[in-house]
Structure 1
Amino acid sequence: MSPHLTPIMSIIAGVCVLVFPALLNYVVGIYLVLTGVLALMN
């Protein structure tokens, strides 16, 4: 990811979590799954 795209994504994700708190569960779940898959592939 480009260096200045990551903070923008973080801000958008933060606003989404504040607006839809239940979304946090999905965001964390997807993040953990992706992290695990990427770790296994490397």
Structure 2
Amino acid sequence: MNIHLSVIPLVSLIAGVLILVMPKLLNYIVAFYLIAIGLIGMFGTGHFHLH
């Protein structure tokens, strides 16, 4: 059984939920999201393959 997990949509989902739950932390959540997406893009680890 192969599971293909994409990191970018997962990070987006977590950021969206955190913004809904804690709107006062919007600046920090957006900053963390941008840093995470930048690191994922730089290191090219957008997909993990689990077997």
Which protein has the bigger strand share?
Answer: 2
In structure 1, runs of 5+ residues without a counterpart are 33-42
TM-score, normalised with respect to structure 2: 0.45
Aligned length: 31
Q: Which has the higher contact order (CA 8 A, sep 6+)?
A: 2
Which protein has the bigger helix share?
Answer: 1
Tell me which structure has the larger Cα radius of gyration.
2
In structure 2, runs of 5+ residues without a counterpart are 35-51
Distance 1:30 1:13, change over 3 A: closer
- Identical pairs, percent: 53
Whole-Å Cα distance in 1 between the matches of residues 33 and 13 of structure 2?
16
Counterparts of 1:1-42 in structure 2 under 5 Å? 4-29=6-31
TM-score, normalised with respect to structure 1: 0.53
Q: CA RMSD in A?
A: 2.4
